[in-house]
Structure 1
Amino acid sequence: MSDQPQPSVPEPSTDGSVATRLAVVRGRITAAAVAAGRDPREVRLLVATKTQTPEAVLEALAAGVDLIGENRVQELVAKAPAVADRVAEGALQVHMIGHLQRNKINQVLATATGLETLDSLDLARAISERCVRDGRTGDRALEVMVQVNVTGEESKSGVAPDHAVELAGAVATLPGLRLTGFMTIGARLDDTDEDTVRAGFARLRAIRDAVLASGAPGTSTATELSMGMTGDLEPAIAEGATIVRVGTAVFGPRVTAATL
Structure 2
Amino acid sequence: MPSPLTGNVPIVALRARIDAVRARVADAARAAGRDPRGVRVLLATKTQDAATVLAAVEAAWDGERPVLLGENRVQELTAKAPALAGLVADGRVETHLIGHLQRNKVNAALATASCVQTVDSLALAAALASRCERDGRVLDVMVQVNVSGEPTKAGVGPHEAPHLACEVAALAGLRLTGLMTIGARSDDAALVSAGFARLRAIRDDVVASGAPGTAQARELSMGMTGDLELAVAQGATIVRVGTAVFGPR
Please give the TM-score of this superposition, normalised by the length of structure 2: 0.92
Give the corresponding residue for 2:184: 187
Q: Distance in 2 between matches of 1:238 and 1:221?
A: 21
Aligned-pair CA distance for 1:143: 0.2
Give the corresponding residue for 1:146: 143
1:208 lines up with 2:209 in the alignment: no
Q: Distance in 2 between matches of 1:34 and 1:252?
A: 26
Q: Which amino acid aligns with 1:32?
A: A
Q: Which amino acid aligns with 1:20?
A: A
1:27 lines up with 2:23 in the alignment: yes
Give the corresponding residue for 2:41: 45
Q: Which amino acid aligns with 1:88?
A: A
**Cα-Cα RMSD:** 1.3
Q: Which amino acid aligns with 1:57?
A: V
Q: Which amino acid aligns with 2:196?
A: F
Q: Distance in 2 between matches of 1:78 and 1:212?
A: 36
Give the corresponding residue for 2:167: 170
Q: CA deviation digits over 1:212-241, x for unaligned, max 9?
A: 111111001100000000000000000000
Q: Which amino acid aligns with 2:236?
A: A
Aligned-pair CA distance for 1:16: 7.4
Q: CA deviation digits over 1:86-127, x for unaligned, max 9?
A: 111122110000000011101110001000000000110011
- Pairwise mapping of residues 87-98 of structure 1 onto structure 2 (< 5 A)? 87-98=88-99
Q: Distance in 1 between matches of 2:247 and 2:125?
A: 34
Aligned-pair CA distance for 1:64: 2.4
Give the corresponding residue for 1:74: 75
Change (3 A) 1:87 1:16: closer
Identity of aligned residues (%): 65
User: How many aligned residue pairs are there?
Assistant: 235
Please state whether the residue corresponding to 1:166 is helix, strand or coil.
helix
Please give the TM-score of this superposition, normalised by the length of structure 1: 0.88
Q: Distance in 1 between matches of 2:206 and 2:106?
A: 26
Q: Distance in 2 between matches of 1:60 and 1:215?
A: 39
Q: Give runs of ≥4 in structure 1 deviating > 4 Å.
A: none
Give the corresponding residue for 2:152: 155
Q: Which runs of 5+ in 2 are unaligned?
A: 1-10, 62-66
